[in-house]
């Protein structure tokens, strides 16, 4: 009689709880891997953009003389969106 109950449960739920946990873990790992790669690539691109911004700032401020605050304010206008 108990085997009949287990067979009925096996038909309704073909996986045990431990099998379901392993399946869900595998799906989570597969879904997380592309997110890790895209996060890494976005980090590399962000570093590049920060470097270009620093270079633009350095080029913009080169040769300017005057009060320190006024010069920095003038150079910051380079970064305003157009």
Contacts of 15 (CB under 8 A, 6+ apart): 23
User: What does the DSSP assignment read for the chain?
Assistant: -HHHHHHHHHHH--S-HHHHHHHHHHHHHHHHHHHHHHHHHHHHHHHHHHHHHHHHHHHHHTT--S-HHHHHHHHHGGGS--
pTM of the model: 0.50
pLDDT tens-digit series, residues 24-81: 999 888 887 777 888 999 999 999 999 998 888 888 888 777 777 888 888 888 777 7
């Amino acid at each position: 009689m108990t085997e009949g109950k287990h067979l009925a449960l096996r038909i309704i739920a073909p996986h045990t709880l431990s099998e379901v946990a392993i399946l869900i873990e595998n799906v989570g790992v597969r879904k997380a891997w592309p997110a890790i790669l895209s996060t890494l690539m976005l980090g590399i691109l962000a570093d590049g953009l920060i470097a270009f911004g620093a270079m633009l700032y350095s080029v913009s401020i080169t040769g300017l003389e005057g009060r320190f605050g006024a010069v920095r304010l003038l150079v910051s206008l380079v970064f305003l969106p157009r």
